[in-house]
Structure 1
């Protein structure tokens, strides 16, 4: 019996090993994401600010699960008195100045809504219920894994008064800023359904192709996502002047746009848009739509912006990854700046520096959230922070600002919120931050520092190459925080699990100091909870200097450096000492300023 028992145990162990090996192999092939193709046809009544829509979705379930329900976002429903967006704005400590109590005061003719009149699954009516900004759909038949279904919808909608991102008649007089305007299928991924109510923050979408037809008064110029399919029937600056224009009769024009492989679609329209086109040598068309009745100083700024946008397109393509679409549009509209597929909405009455800055930031979002489609609700620091990082770099180079640290503002903002005790972890859902200030600092500043501080840890060249690898591996996908970490690890051969954990999942702070200099022995101390490698500059009495790099032991390596690399420092050790060969005059920790040390007063030690 004993022999049989051990034989059985051996078989179990061997079988377990085989299953584990096969499972690991399969795991390499198990990334999946859903796919949806949109065909939409809308008829706009510009006087009533309403439109009727027909939508056909072809939805492919690439998940391993059978889906018994689907969900849609009905974003315009947020702009109604008593909505969660309204109530949140009335109760948060520091409400967005653009929102405040404005939703609570909207009249019935001013609210936004999307009303679903009918919905069919493969031609058969399905049950559905609207709950705030979410449409819940109980399917007649589950969508099995690997199956494709057709969902057909008729809906009515009203464009709200411009309050946040989308709407009508914004403060600069743009008639229609049409973002979040259609019933948008919610994302389903390895975490399940993503159905947060529309309260304040940003978005997540399913990759697919959009075919959008818009019927609107013929004096309105339209721009946005996608490529116009019928320019010779439209004019408005889209036509090929070498070919005949064939404008239809009637009061409306029919615009047909197609946007391939995107996860959202935005458009804007105004009867007073001026439309300029700049054709880049690489074949990309840059479209600029802005109010022709702007003051002369603003018109001049919009003209000066255009070649700079071409420089931005080149910079981002070279430093992250090649822009894959045929056009990009910069459009006056919205309430500040907001990114969308192949286009951005920005307010247009700005000094040139501000106009360039907002365009650089929103355009950079094309890479960080649209092509690298991280979840903006769960990980806003990955899109706002990374966008801030690359747009700061671009501005510094294109405008020749020559800043030693173009991210200094983010460090200042981060240190300020830590000092006030308002900081919350980067794992906080975008809508759940206690204050808007905490959200902004976490997402923009601390997210930016995630990358700029990596320059300090693994070296600038490794960060540059890591971003390019991240783009190659995860463009047109939905990357997670672990994915950016792995991209950086693969190019640097440095372990970064500790960094992702400490910086994004805790409130641990960095504080290192020079504890003492005794003769030629220098002692450093870790005061804060977050460990880091050390760059130390030593000045000697004879006027010479030396630089030292002390890797963190958990890194299992060190960055490329011309400094003298010393023995690594285990994080549990509160102090670290090393001996130099000359008489010391001063010791400085991190001359680059890229480490987010919250107390800089103890980073320099002058020997007296």
Structure 2
């Protein structure tokens, strides 16, 4: 080979490899001023958006979300919801009970509106094309790779009656304003291109950046939400430092100034009757040679004693403070200086540094979204289960800790998944969140099957290894929008096992797990037990044998596709490790040197972490007190 050609080829290969390994994310910085009229429920605003195109691509257009436009008769959300009302699921219909057919019946002063009157890029007016909840901006000059532009927007809106997540005047909570998805928000652009996802009802995906937001509103209203209040001495209402004199400006309105660093969204809520409580749970801790700095943290609670008693609301702060050390030990450190639990919305919905709660019951679930939606922030439209499922998994573990419950914390998630798998409605976890045929299938998949993914991963890798995987995942991928492949590769490195098969079966398919005890017999000095696989998803197995004298043995059969074995989880129990079970083979035979007549129980997966859809055939109890052994039901 010609030496020059060889050198050029090596250069091209190295350059290509380097380019493929480069990671990038877009970056934003919002500065917004909004003026709210609480009589008309309308607002006007200005937005300056600094946008960094860190991609290698030239952008000829950009897209913005205009979420409030979903709350208009005939919108995609309206039509989709009414369609779900025609689908029978169990004893009822499939529509979201909060939405139903309410949108089609909204009056002109009750609908939502988001209108961008003018948008400039670097001072030049751009062409706008409205697609209901998506605004397309056709650029007069492309945005070059690795360059920055500035967008300036003038916009106005009308707050809809509370229908889904955001809105006003919820009749249950009596909260005036739940202001989520309220501003023109630029869509995310990543390795897969633009994500101009219409607002049909489900999850979100946003660009990391800083938000500087000024909200001008009736001076009697109390606000809470994302970010740090910059002018507490002018606001008061419990935000001022202890002993600080509050000096409110004159006039009918106050301007609340918030700043939120390194977030992908901004939510606020407002009501003149909010009760504001706060609890400082820690001071800042400086960095050492072995540990990073830990920020101070204050928890805020804003509520009205309308649909729940005050003591139930105020218990949130003490429970959250008690849970925090456990949370940070197992799931990673909380990086911000504040978090706000706010009465509002229509159920429970998570936002950076804050949540909207219709009642206090969902506080823990929504707070844990800060880790999986707020900080890791996978694309929820594509990976809703990596947010809702992992949040549910964490919630169950923390709830068990708070209640000193030593039972199986994830039983509810397993039951939810098994019911889904048997329903005939299941769709793969790879299904886009808005594209599930039924709300019922989406909910069970995202929450239950997603939670089972993580607990069952501990069955495959060992629970202690899984716990370290969770911390590795958080430390490596926080603020980076990870995908399922990122998680799997990280889990493989930590566990030393191949795990792509686990993703392929559990995430990409609806194949189920079902193992059964086939038969037992004696052969010379050994007792043999044959296990058969009925389901189409193969798994490694723990099989526990119990004998008449009370002794036990654990028989561990790795799966061939994992190319390794999990470590011992219970050192008090003798464990026999077998050669791998080939996924193509329907049966596997294990053995013990104990006599058959001493075997009283054969138990596939005594930990119940295996999501077997038919556990009735996982156990065989034997009574040898009669000449003919009796199978105990």
CA apart distance, 1:21 = 5.0
Q: Please say if 1:426 is aligned against 2:438.
A: no
CA distance in 2 between partners of 1:67 and 1:131 (Å): 19
CA apart distance, 1:20 = 4.0
Q: Please say if 1:408 is aligned against 2:411.
A: yes
Give the alignment partner of residue 463 of structure 1, picking from 458, 466, 480: 466
Question: How does the TM-score come out when normalised to structure 1?
Answer: 0.95
Pairwise mapping of residues 312-323 of structure 1 onto structure 2 (< 5 A)?
A: 312-323=323-334
Give the alignment partner of residue 582 of structure 1, picking from 594, 613, 617: 594
SS at match of 2:17: helix
Give the alignment partner of residue 17 of structure 2, picking from 24, 45, 69: 24
Q: Which consecutive residues of structure 1, in runs of 5 or more, have no partner in the other structure?
A: 1-6, 349-354
CA apart distance, 1:127 = 0.5
CA distance in 2 between partners of 1:335 and 1:307 (Å): 24
Q: Please say if 1:53 is aligned against 2:66.
A: no
Which residue number corresponds to residue 395 of structure 2?
A: 391
Judging changes above 3 Å, is the alpha-carbon distance between structure 1 residues 27 and 541 closer, same or farther for their aligned structure 2 residues?
same
SS at match of 1:506: coil
Q: Is the 8 A contact 1:54 1:152 kept in 2?
A: yes
Q: Is the 8 A contact 2:200 2:434 kept in 1?
A: yes
Q: Is the 8 A contact 1:332 1:347 kept in 2?
A: yes
Which residue number corresponds to residue 537 of structure 1?
A: 544
Pairwise mapping of residues 432-511 of structure 1 onto structure 2 (< 5 A)?
A: 432-511=435-514
Give the alignment partner of residue 565 of structure 1, picking from 560, 563, 577: 577
Judging changes above 3 Å, is the alpha-carbon distance between structure 1 residues 14 and 522 closer, same or farther for their aligned structure 2 residues?
farther
Which residue number corresponds to residue 144 of structure 1?
A: 144
Which residue number corresponds to residue 185 of structure 1?
A: 186
Give the alignment partner of residue 379 of structure 1, picking from 380, 383, 391: 383
Please list the CA deviations of residues 395-425 of structure 1 after superposition, one character each: whole Å capped at 9, or x if unmatched: 11012233x2111111111111221211110
SS at match of 1:395: helix
CA distance in 1 between partners of 2:339 and 2:412 (Å): 29
Which residue number corresponds to residue 177 of structure 2?
A: 176
CA apart distance, 1:88 = 0.2
CA distance in 1 between partners of 2:149 and 2:550 (Å): 75
CA distance in 2 between partners of 1:443 and 1:312 (Å): 24
Q: Is the 8 A contact 1:312 1:360 kept in 2?
A: no
CA distance in 2 between partners of 1:492 and 1:15 (Å): 39
Q: Please say if 1:194 is aligned against 2:195.
A: yes
Judging changes above 3 Å, is the alpha-carbon distance between structure 1 residues 109 and 324 closer, same or farther for their aligned structure 2 residues?
same
CA apart distance, 1:25 = 4.3
Q: Is the 8 A contact 1:540 1:583 kept in 2?
A: no
Judging changes above 3 Å, is the alpha-carbon distance between structure 1 residues 310 and 185 closer, same or farther for their aligned structure 2 residues?
same
SS at match of 1:280: strand
CA apart distance, 1:564 = 2.1
Which residue number corresponds to residue 554 of structure 1?
A: 561
Judging changes above 3 Å, is the alpha-carbon distance between structure 1 residues 606 and 19 closer, same or farther for their aligned structure 2 residues?
farther
Which residue number corresponds to residue 63 of structure 2?
A: 71
CA distance in 2 between partners of 1:200 and 1:109 (Å): 22
CA apart distance, 1:24 = 3.3
Give the alignment partner of residue 289 of structure 1, picking from 279, 302, 306: 302
Q: Please say if 1:345 is aligned against 2:356.
A: yes
**Cα-Cα RMSD:** 1.5
CA distance in 2 between partners of 1:421 and 1:20 (Å): 49
CA distance in 2 between partners of 1:33 and 1:50 (Å): 34
CA apart distance, 1:140 = 1.4
Which residue number corresponds to residue 161 of structure 1?
A: 161
CA distance in 1 between partners of 2:306 and 2:590 (Å): 64
Please list the CA deviations of residues 221-269 of structure 1 after superposition, one character each: whole Å capped at 9, or x if unmatched: 0000000000000011101232332110001001000000000000000
Which residue number corresponds to residue 614 of structure 2?
A: 599
Q: Is the 8 A contact 1:119 1:151 kept in 2?
A: yes
CA distance in 2 between partners of 1:496 and 1:15 (Å): 37
CA distance in 2 between partners of 1:407 and 1:441 (Å): 14
Q: Is the 8 A contact 1:277 1:286 kept in 2?
A: yes
Q: Is the 8 A contact 1:52 1:157 kept in 2?
A: yes
CA distance in 1 between partners of 2:450 and 2:411 (Å): 13
SS at match of 1:182: coil
SS at match of 2:116: strand
Give the alignment partner of residue 298 of structure 1, picking from 303, 309, 316: 309
Q: Please say if 1:249 is aligned against 2:250.
A: yes
SS at match of 1:554: helix
CA distance in 2 between partners of 1:576 and 1:138 (Å): 62
CA distance in 2 between partners of 1:298 and 1:494 (Å): 50
SS at match of 2:323: helix
CA distance in 2 between partners of 1:12 and 1:100 (Å): 67
SS at match of 2:79: helix
Q: Is the 8 A contact 1:467 1:487 kept in 2?
A: no
CA distance in 1 between partners of 2:322 and 2:127 (Å): 51
How many residues matched? Answer: 590
CA apart distance, 1:600 = 1.0
CA apart distance, 1:535 = 0.2
SS at match of 1:431: helix
Please list the CA deviations of residues 122-164 of structure 1 after superposition, one character each: whole Å capped at 9, or x if unmatched: 0111110111100000111101001100000001100000000
CA distance in 2 between partners of 1:18 and 1:495 (Å): 32
CA apart distance, 1:17 = 6.3
CA distance in 2 between partners of 1:494 and 1:179 (Å): 42
CA distance in 2 between partners of 1:322 and 1:338 (Å): 21
Q: Please say if 1:261 is aligned against 2:272.
A: no
